[in-house]
Copies of this chain bind each other. A is one copy, B any other.
Amino acid sequence: MSQKRVIAVVVTARPSYSRVKTVLEAINQHPDLELKLIVAASALLDRYGSAVNYIEKDGFKIAAKVFNVLEGENLAAAAKTTGIGILELSSVFDNLKPDIVVTVADRFETMATAIAASYMNIPLAHIQGGEVTGNIDEKVRHAITKLADYHFVASESAKERVIKLGEDSKMVFNTGCPSIDLASDILNSKQLSFDPYEKYGGVGARPDLAKGYLVVMQHPVTNEYKDSRKHIEVTLEAIYKLNKTTLWFWPNVDAGADGTSTGIRAFREQHQLPNVHFFKNMEGKDFLELLMHSDCLIGNSSVGIRECAFLGIPVVNIGSRQNRRDRGGNSVDVNYSQQEIEEAIITAVQKGSTSPSFIYGNGSAGKKIADLLADVPLQFHKTIVY
């Protein structure tokens, strides 16, 4: 009689949860797998949207909570957050004794998961390696590739890149991105099925959404963190000037998050924004439905590059954060320039929705990943192929 494989998945932020939700579901449903879900870092914190609340509401059982975010708007704090993460996660792994640890994407603190697992000789799976963005996230992402034993990548170009990085091609799997799984569920939505103001509160005006609306989500960029306030102000000015109905989402935690947040807060104190509402967070599926019926997404979220490509939603992508990520035909890139942003929004809204792109998969990534986790050989010893 075979025993279930214990799969520990570490979720450290709200967007990472949205990204792997269908993986978690598929692991839970797989007869040969047992999920141990570890929630850590900003996913636990009220300031960053308490992803943990959604996780619990979605019915997932949490095996361990790891508080490791060290406060301080500086880069040393990001490093120390990672150090504390290693201290804590190695104890958690020691208790849970997983057969495989799964780490997601490229946030700085995911390195803690990768180090704790690989140093403890636990096979490590990495979701979403091989992509290119050109900042510290990229250093982290490719370094994790070199620590990981299995690679569940989201596109063909990512697969090729991971193999070029010297990984054994038998351990590199293009599963598509699990975030597309969620998107495929709402492809047929004809109209918003909920009132976002009522369901999610938030602050600011509550303009009528019936005649169309913009969505803004702009995160600080790690290696430009000193400029994060200036960058957000450019976008704020553009939106203020356009004066269209707009739904704005607060950023995640990052070395510069306080710059971005402070910028938004200060702008709100100094300006009347009669057509802008601010949300702190939203469940992934509701967020996608909101995007589905929007005129345009503005900012630098990977959702614009990924889910919106699949859904055919116009996107104005600002700055360097998504640099060199594979694009569908739905997005246009602009600099931190008020004029460029304004013009790009106007053009995008006029053009309207585009045809769907499958570069990030077709909506079955969660199930594919779970099947692979049940099937790959358990190994933590590897060597570069060249």
Contact = CB atoms under 8 A, between A and B. Distances in A.
Given A67-B72, A71-B71, A83-B115, 19 more contacts: A46-B262, A69-B72, A70-B70, A79-B90, A79-B116, A79-B119, A80-B84, A80-B86, A83-B90, A84-B84, A91-B91, A95-B95, A135-B381, A143-B143, A143-B147, A146-B146, A161-B166, A165-B165, A323-B383
A75 interface: yes
A136 B119 contact: yes
The 10 closest A-B pairs by CB, nearest first: A83-B86, A134-B383, A67-B72, A79-B119, A79-B90, A143-B146, A142-B146, A143-B143, A83-B87, A69-B71
Interface string A209-222: 00000000000000
A267 to B, nearest CB: 14
A86 B79 contact: yes
A44 interface: yes
A228 to B, nearest CB: 13
Contacts of A72: 44-45, 67, 69
Contact of A69 (B70, B133, B136): B70
Contacts of A119: 75, 78-79, 82, 108, 136
A68 interface: yes
A86 B68 CA distance: 13
A76 B47 contact: no
B386 A161 contact: yes
Interface of A: 44-47, 64-80, 82-95, 108, 111-112, 115-116, 118-121, 132-136, 138-140, 142-147, 161, 164-166, 203, 223, 258, 262, 269, 323-324, 380-384, 386
Nearest to A157: B386
A87 B90 CA distance: 12
Contact of A165 (B46, B77, B115, B166): B166
Contacts of A121: 75, 136, 223
B67 A80 contact: yes
A80 B120 CA distance: 10
Given A75-B119, A139-B382, A84 B87 contact: yes
A249 B229 CA distance: 26
- Residue of A46, A108, A384 contacting most chain B CB atoms (<10 Å): A384
A113 to B, nearest CB: 11
A384 B147 contact: no
Contact of A115 (B70, B92, B95, B111): B111
12 contacts: A44-B72, A46-B258, A67-B77, A70-B70, A75-B119, A80-B86, A82-B83, A83-B86, A91-B91, A132-B384, A164-B164, A203-B269
Contact of A142 (B74, B135, B384): B384
A87 B93 contact: no
A306 to B, nearest CB: 19
A245 to B, nearest CB: 21
Contacts of A140: 147
Contacts of A120: 75-76, 78-79
Contacts of A86: 79-80, 82-83, 86
Nearest to A381: B223
Nearest to A116: B79
Contacts of A77: 67
Contacts of A74: 67
A94 B146 CA distance: 28
B93 A91 contact: no
